[in-house]
Structure 1
């Protein structure tokens, strides 16, 4: 398999985590978002949306990270990233969606570039924008994590799930945007635990071949 992504892309990061947790081998092809390579015709022939990640298998081209993660779960079920019960799967998907639908999309690069280039928003205001929406989302997530007395070291239960694949890249982004993370002790404990696991370490942005060194 070949994963088209970018070292600092949160959606690429979450996909790398999931593939690593499942022990899958894949090649990385960098699509440099900083140079708008995703908008060039060569990549749009792969994904007409011009977004990463895209995952090439022997006979499929997959895109949209939520769909990719679901495909991975169905195709490689040996290391499950969803609970066995319907209620548990619902909860993990809901926690994932809090990041994937309500935090990440309004802080990704194309939104921030629109703020900068089309609306002439200065960098201080862009930073405040990111901090506001990440903090709001993390506040709600922290409340739910605190209420889950059955949870251990991760977002759900005692093993990584989709929710951790989503959360860890968002924490990386929160640090980039100088979000105060001290109000979120449960989120921080999950981050600390995941950062001891090879699958997460290997997926970190600065450990990618296209990261600046």
Structure 2
């Protein structure tokens, strides 16, 4: 198994968490998205989405983090089940995961921020204001979802799910961008619990072979 990843990519981080929780060994293949290595023709041939992560498992190639994690959950039953089998529990996990993966991440990822600055001429302080606005709006929704339906040390109970795989990288990025997250105590409590666990620590950006401060 091979994972094409960039240490600071939150989508790659999600998959690294899932792999660690499942106890799966893999070869780490760095793809530097800051140097646009994900746009190289040879890489795009492997991953038509032209992004990270990309998982190669034998003849299988998958290039979207949520699809990869769902595949791992279905193919490798060891470790926690990341998407519950129960219909309502599954829906709750997917609801919160989508609130992060679909509502927060797409407007704040590197290619969007780069376009704001290089193509639209947005100043650095305005770019940062953009980032913090969407973090605040998105995490407010996540906080409400956790208040209504969350329980236990993780997002939903006493075992990690896909929701935690999504939440931790998003909070990590927000902290790196120096966003004020004090308005989201439940989000932060889940984050602090998760990052203290060995699987999450092993998946963290600073633990990756391509880490650069």
Structure 1 length-normalised TM: 0.97
Compute the RMSD of aligned alpha carbons: 1.1
Q: Could you say what secondary structure the match of 1:92 adopts?
A: helix
Q: Which residue of 1 aligns with 2:63?
A: 63
Deviations along 1:46-76, one digit per CA (max 9) or x if unpaired, are: 1122101000111111111111111011101
Q: Which residue of 2 aligns with 1:25?
A: 25
Q: Which residue of 1 aligns with 2:147?
A: 146
Q: Are 1:127 and 2:124 an aligned pair? A: no
Q: CA deviation at 1:147?
A: 2.2
Q: Are 1:34 and 2:38 an aligned pair? A: no
- Please, which runs of 5 or more residues in structure 2 have no aligned partner? none
Q: How far apart are the structure 2 equivalents of 1:17 and 1:183?
A: 26
Q: CA deviation at 1:41?
A: 1.3
Q: How far apart are the structure 1 equivalents of 2:88 and 2:49?
A: 33
Q: Are 1:115 and 2:125 an aligned pair? A: no
Q: Which residue of 2 aligns with 1:85?
A: 86
Q: Could you say what secondary structure the match of 1:3 adopts?
A: strand
Q: How far apart are the structure 1 equivalents of 2:9 and 2:167?
A: 13
Q: Tell me, yes or no, if the aligned pair for 2:49 and 2:63 is still in contact at 8 Å.
A: no
What are the equivalent positions in structure 2 for 1:1-213 lying under 5 Å apart? 1-79=1-79, 80-148=81-149, 151-212=151-212
How many aligned positions are there? 212
Deviations along 1:64-114, one digit per CA (max 9) or x if unpaired, are: 111111101110123211223100000001100000000001100111111
Q: How far apart are the structure 1 equivalents of 2:159 and 2:66?
A: 19
Moved over 3 A (4+): none
Q: How far apart are the structure 1 equivalents of 2:85 and 2:66?
A: 18
